[in-house]
Each structure stands twice: as structure tokens, then as C-alpha cells.
Amino acid sequence: MNPTQDINLIEEALGLAAENLGDITKPVMENYYAKYPQVRATFTELSLNKAKEMEGEMVTQTIYSLMAIIQNPIVTKIMLQEAIVNHLYLKISLEHFNGLIDSTTDVIIGVLDNGLSDNIAALNHVRHRLKDVVAMAYSNIQNRLVINSD
């Protein structure tokens, strides 16, 4: 697949998810918290008791990143590096960061039927590409930063 084809397939999948679910934040976060229940308290604490707003922002950023890694990979890598520095400082693990990518992608794929295998393949391709970029950034940043463990 080429980038334009991936974008079109993912946009179609996002449209179907919106038609079937409306705002996907709630099902994404339900999926995420089911896998990582301990993260719910982190969202509440870091959001200053405005977890719903923060959840919406995080899901929106994840969808943006899934599209942007195709359209503008270099800018996306730079943007993610800045976000990852903040996440490391807040002691957000790579597993939890990638968990939101997986939960977002899984919810979108969950509304697609088997006849949309190209859409599913595109979503899985971009998911793995984004997670690879995130993993590399986490590793590079951890090697360069000294995080205060206090």
C-alpha cells in the first residue's frame, strides 16, 4: 500500500467508527482501562480531576498521530519525542503509551466487518509503524535523559 491509499482506508474506517459509535473516546478508554486499570488513577491525578477532558485529548492525539505518521513522518517523530519526554517525566511507561494506541486502533477495527480487510490491514500497518517510532523514541530519550527518581 502507498501512503495515500493508507490514508484513504483509515479515513474510511474512522468515518465508519464515527457513524457507529459517535465520539470514540468512551469505548477507547473503556478498552484501555480494562487492560490497564491502574492508569485510571493516573489520568485523574494528572488531569487535576478533569479526566474526561484529558481522555478526549489523548484519544484525539492518538488518532492524529496515526494519520500524521503516514502524512508527515519526520514532523510526527519530532512531536512524539517532545510528548515522550513529558510522559517519561510523569513516569508513564512505554507499555501504557502504546496501550492507548492499541485501544484506539482496536475500537476502530472493532466496527469494521471482514469485508473491509484492506482498512483493517492499513490500520494495523500504521499502528505498528507508530508503535515502532514511539518505542525508538522512548529508548533514545531514556538513554539521553537522567530522570529524577524522587
The answer to the question of residue 73 being in a domain is: yes
To the nearest whole percent, how much of the chain has pLDDT over 70? Answer: 93
Predicted TM-score of the model (pTM): 0.89
The answer to the question of residue 149 being in a domain is: no
The answer to the question of residue 150 being in a domain is: no
Residue 8 has pLDDT above 60, yes or no: yes
The residue whose grid cell reads 478498552 is 31
Residue 146 has pLDDT above 60, yes or no: no
The reported pLDDT for the residue numbered 91 is 79
- The CATH number linked to 59 is 1.10.490.10
The answer to the question of residue 111 being in a domain is: yes
The answer to the question of residue 147 being in a domain is: no
Residue 148 has pLDDT above 50, yes or no: no
The reported pLDDT for the residue numbered 115 is 86
Residue 54, domain extent: 3-142
Residue 14 has pLDDT above 70, yes or no: yes
Number of domains composing the chain: 1
The answer to the question of residue 148 being in a domain is: no
Q: What is the pLDDT of residues 49-89, one digit of tens each?
A: 788 898 999 999 999 999 999 999 999 888 888 888 777 77
